[in-house]
Amino acid sequence: MPHRDRPTSFVTVDLVILTVRELALNVLVIERGNPPYQGAHALPGGFLEPDEDLDQAARRELAEETGLDGDTLHIEQLRSYGAPDRDPLDRVVTVCYVAFMADLPLPVAGGDARAAHWMPVNELLQDPSRLAFDHHHLLSDAVEHARDLLTHTTLATTFCPTEFTITQLRAVYEIVWGTQLDPSNFRRKVLGVPDFLVPTETKAPDTGGRPAARYRAGIATRLHPPILREPDTGVDASL
């Protein structure tokens, strides 16, 4: 039996499930039912099973925690965390995944009975102690990743319902980035990307003005050239 003498670890897969609702970026959190951090808020996740791949584990957890079909949702591996003291009781290495979804009614927690609910990301990021373990880190990294994805992918449409208006799409960018975008230039930009937006026949319900045309997400996944976020300085301490 090989490696009998080698150190082993518990491997978990944790999920940062993001949505845009009520004009804010929200994340799905659960209340922990067991030590450590019993009763505290934490990101959903669970142990990697012996016979599954990391992606499979993430989709399984996603289905268990949200009741949603983990097979159809877009998930993405972010990175792994393995500080020796990140779990006070065990040696746990966690692989973090990010998932993006529209603001759907949550079929809510499966058999797990742990209360799952949305919380605004900005609130949680104020204070690292709002989340158990180093989940503050995971969330912070995931949000930064999502911001980056908006610049060069069509990710924003996954935060929207099946049909949406350009104003709704722009709101996603503005909420996730925390900035204001020029409606006219944004429109020109997104309509100029081939296969990003597909027009539909329907009009948006009245919002007190001219009804907006509705679109569906097209097959494009990359934005070229990207939508840049900052004027920027060219200097940055973070590489």
DSSP 3-state assignment of 227? coil
The CA distance from 80 to 93, in Å, is: 7
Helices 166-177, 183-192: inter-axial angle, 10-degree rounding: 110
- To DNA, the closest distance from the beta carbon of 188 in angstroms equals 6
- To DNA, the closest distance from the beta carbon of 158 in angstroms equals 20
DSSP string covering 53-91, please?
A: -HHHHHHHHHHHHH-S-TTTSEEEEEEEE--TTSSSSS-
Select 124 or 156, whichever has its Cβ closest to its own copies.
156
Select 183 or 226, whichever has its Cβ closest to its own copies.
226
Q: Residue 111 interacts with its own copies (CB under 8 A)?
A: no
Q: CA nearest 199: which of 165, 154, 227?
A: 165
Could you say which residues in the range 74-103 bind its own copies, by CB under 8 A? 74, 77, 79-84, 89-91, 93, 95
The CA distance from 127 to 149, in Å, is: 25
Of the residues 137, 153, 163, 213, which one makes contact with its own copies according to CB under 8 A:
153
Choosing among DNA, its own copies, none, which partner's interface includes residue 184 (Cβ < 5 to 8 Å by kind)? DNA
Cα of 23 vs its chain's centroid, Å? 15
Q: Residue 237 interacts with its own copies (CB under 8 A)?
A: yes
Query: Are the beta carbons of 155 and 146 closer than 8 angstroms?
Result: yes
Select 2 or 105, whichever has its Cβ closest to its own copies.
2
Q: Which helix (H) or strand (E) holds 192?
A: helix 183-192
Residues near DNA (CB under 7 A): 165-167, 182-185, 187-189, 191-192, 203-204, 206-213, 225, 227-228
Neighbours of 57 (CB within 10 A): 21
- Amino acid letter, residue 217: A
Q: Residue 140 interacts with its own copies (CB under 8 A)?
A: no
Choosing among its own copies, DNA, none, which partner's interface includes residue 48 (Cβ < 5 to 8 Å by kind)? its own copies
Select 11 or 125, whichever has its Cβ closest to its own copies.
11
Peptide bond into 194 cis (omega under 30): no
Q: Residue 210 interacts with its own copies (CB under 8 A)?
A: no
Select 137 or 189, whichever has its Cβ closest to DNA.
189
Choosing among its own copies, DNA, none, which partner's interface includes residue 147 (Cβ < 5 to 8 Å by kind)? none
Select 120 or 141, whichever has its Cβ closest to its own copies.
141
Query: Are the beta carbons of 211 and 203 closer than 8 angstroms?
Result: yes
Residues near its own copies, by CB under 8 A = 2-3, 6-11, 35, 47-54, 57, 74, 77, 79-84, 89-91, 93, 95, 153-155, 193-196, 219-226, 228, 230-239
